[in-house]
Amino acid sequence: MLKIDARKKLAEFEWRGRLEIRPGLTALFGQSGAGKTSLVNMVAGLLTPDEGEIAIGGTCVFSSRKDVNLSPERRPVGVVFQDGRLFPHLSVGGNLRYGRPRGSRSAPTLEEVIELLELEALLGRRPMSLSGGEQQRVAIGRALLTAPDVLLLDEPLSGLDGERRGEVLGFLERLKRDSDRIIVYVTHRMEEVVRLADRLVLIDRGEVRSSGGLQDLLGRPELQAVIGQRTAGALLRCRIEQIDDGDGLSRLSCSGHTILLPRLDLKSGSEGVPPAPRAGRPRSQDADIVLQVRAGDVSLSLEPPRRSSVLNVMEGTVERVVQEDGALADVVVNVGQTLWARVTRRSVRELGLSPGVAVYATIKAASLYSAD
């Protein structure tokens, strides 16, 4: 368990978050400038909090009360930075061998890490000659070889283009499946959260706004200010029924409803490619895939649409309506799972949407397959 309860005056605001992070992959999500990197630096020992306490497992690494402040090299923490930070004067092999194991767990061997991240062919090369994706793989391997109890990944994919991102994502997925360590993954991209995270912590201006399971948090309209209007939306757990129905569509079932979307990419062995842009693999056995449905992509009607281009129609009941000051409102619909639609307040008024009303939620198949 990683426990953080710290205050630190930063340039724009004061960090005063308090959180506990369990083993598994926890995504730290927030807009840029929310204080995510400051948190990473405080845990790693690169930034000293003004007061508070940080503990990893049973070890206190910082405490203003007990006057403890372990230096970075004495904390069981590994960091993968946004920009890789490989040493340019050392080869890939030299970079990998630089670290010193210091966590409580036994260190993986160099061979294991090379195999996990497929680094064999890169060993003799200089960091400058590597692609961004390769650099981040080396950076991940370098951190893993120090056998950290806590692995901090600070937006490791932000400098990469779509394809490279997919490549590294695949390795991260494999890494997290193979270990029970605490992994903190900082990001502001919802697709990475959906793909990787077991749990989610929402950070806003130095505060923890909410933390918990992914499906629970993503279904709550109140948190959309933190998540971002365009990316917010609920998570659906689905079974895969058919990969290709002949029209290039995959058919999923979700709490008794059928969902169609452009063909999932489930090529065997190519873990680097996500099945769909905002899809991930579920953490339990009761589903094959989790799919994020952005609230803005869902529309509501009182009757089933006829002769419409929309392929996905789900019948459900309105659970609650969250009105806002502006023109928009958020409607939480129970379709067996929680779905969340972002509609205008005029529609809420004209359709009489209120808790208990039966509605049809429609989602364009194409919208389920577009990236952030």
Q: What is the binding site for another protein (CB under 8 A)?
A: 44-46, 71-73, 77-79, 81, 83, 85, 87-89, 98-102, 126, 128, 142-143, 146
- DSSP 8-state symbol, 270: -
Minimum gap (Å) between residue 99 Cβ and another protein: 4
Instruction: Name which of 157 and 368 has its Cβ closer to another protein.
Output: 157
List all residues 6 or more positions away from 332 whose beta carbon is below 8 Å from its beta carbon.
219, 221, 318, 319, 320, 321, 322, 338, 339, 340
Nearest one of 277, 273, 272 to 262, comparing CA atoms: 277
Minimum gap (Å) between residue 354 Cβ and another protein: 53
Start-to-end CA distance of the chain, whole Å, equals: 32
Minimum gap (Å) between residue 279 Cβ and another protein: 33
Which residues are registered as beta bridge partners of 69?
Answer: 62
Minimum gap (Å) between residue 183 Cβ and another protein: 15
Minimum gap (Å) between residue 116 Cβ and another protein: 18
Q: How many CB atoms lie within 10 A of CB 97?
A: 13
Q: How many CB atoms lie within 10 A of CB 5?
A: 17
Instruction: Name which of 78 and 219 has its Cβ closer to another protein.
Output: 78
Instruction: Name which of 83 and 319 has its Cβ closer to another protein.
Output: 83
Q: Which two tokens stand for residue 289?
A: 């895939």
Residue tagged 């499946």 (tokens): 177
Minimum gap (Å) between residue 217 Cβ and another protein: 29
Minimum gap (Å) between residue 255 Cβ and another protein: 44
Alpha carbon dihedral 362, 366, 368, 369, in 10-degree steps, equals 180
Q: Which two tokens stand for residue 315?
A: 């019948």
Instruction: Name which of 97 and 320 has its Cβ closer to another protein.
Output: 97
Minimum gap (Å) between residue 171 Cβ and another protein: 19
C-alpha to C-alpha distance for 334 and 318, rounded to whole angstroms: 6
C-alpha to C-alpha distance for 360 and 60, rounded to whole angstroms: 53
C-alpha to C-alpha distance for 314 and 337, rounded to whole angstroms: 11
Largest CA distance in the chain: 70
Minimum gap (Å) between residue 298 Cβ and another protein: 43
C-alpha to C-alpha distance for 26 and 150, rounded to whole angstroms: 11
Instruction: Name which of 94 and 262 has its Cβ closer to another protein.
Output: 94
Q: What is residue 116's three-state secondary structure?
A: helix
Residues in the chain: 372
The amino acid present at 176, given as its one-letter code, is K
The amino acid present at 282, given as its one-letter code, is P
